[in-house]
Amino acid sequence: MSTEPTYDLAVIGAGPLGAATARHAAETGARVVLIGPDEPADPTTHEGTWSGHYDQGRLCHVLEVPLVTSLLAMRSQRRFADLITRTGVNFLTPTHSVTVLPDQAPGGSASLWFDAEPLARNAADLGVEVDHLDEDALAAAYPALRFEPGHVALRQQDAFILDPRGLVRAELAAALAAGAELVRDEVVSTERREDGVRVCGRGGAAWTARSVVHATGAATNATGLLERPLRLATYGATVVLAEIDGPDAVEMPTMMMMKVRDGRRLFGGIVMAPVRYPDGRWYLKTSGASLLAHPLETREEIAAWVRTGGNAADIEEARALLADLLPDLEPLSMRTRPCLVCATPSDRPYIDRVDDRTVVLVEGERGAMSADEIGRLGAGLALTGRWTDTLPHEAFTAQWADEPSGEPVGA
Q: Which is nearer to ligand FAD, 87 or 311 (CB)?
A: 311
Q: How far is the CB of 229 from ligand FAD (least distance, A)?
A: 14
Q: Which is nearer to ligand FAD, 202 or 327 (CB)?
A: 202
Q: How far is the CB of 107 from ligand FAD (least distance, A)?
A: 27
How many Å apart are CA 345 and CA 99, to the nearest integer? 24
Q: How far is the CB of 283 from ligand FAD (least distance, A)?
A: 13
CB 343 within 8 A of CB 372: no
Q: Which is nearer to ligand FAD, 148 or 171 (CB)?
A: 171
What region, left, alpha or beta, does residue 381 occupy, with left being phi > 0 and alpha being psi -120 to 50 degrees? alpha
Binding site for ligand FAD (CB under 6 A): 12-18, 35-37, 49, 51-53, 58-59, 164, 186-187, 215-219, 223, 237, 239, 287, 339-341, 363-369, 371
Q: Which is nearer to ligand FAD, 133 or 303 (CB)?
A: 303
Q: Which is nearer to ligand FAD, 121 or 202 (CB)?
A: 202
Q: How far is the CB of 171 from ligand FAD (least distance, A)?
A: 10
How many Å apart are CA 102 and CA 408, to the nearest integer? 27
Q: How far is the CB of 226 from ligand FAD (least distance, A)?
A: 11
Q: How far is the CB of 17 from ligand FAD (least distance, A)?
A: 4
Q: How far is the CB of 156 from ligand FAD (least distance, A)?
A: 13
Q: Which is nearer to ligand FAD, 13 or 331 (CB)?
A: 13
Q: Which is nearer to ligand FAD, 58 or 353 (CB)?
A: 58
Q: How far is the CB of 273 from ligand FAD (least distance, A)?
A: 12
Q: Which is nearer to ligand FAD, 152 or 341 (CB)?
A: 341
Q: Which is nearer to ligand FAD, 257 or 368 (CB)?
A: 368
Q: How far is the CB of 46 from ligand FAD (least distance, A)?
A: 11
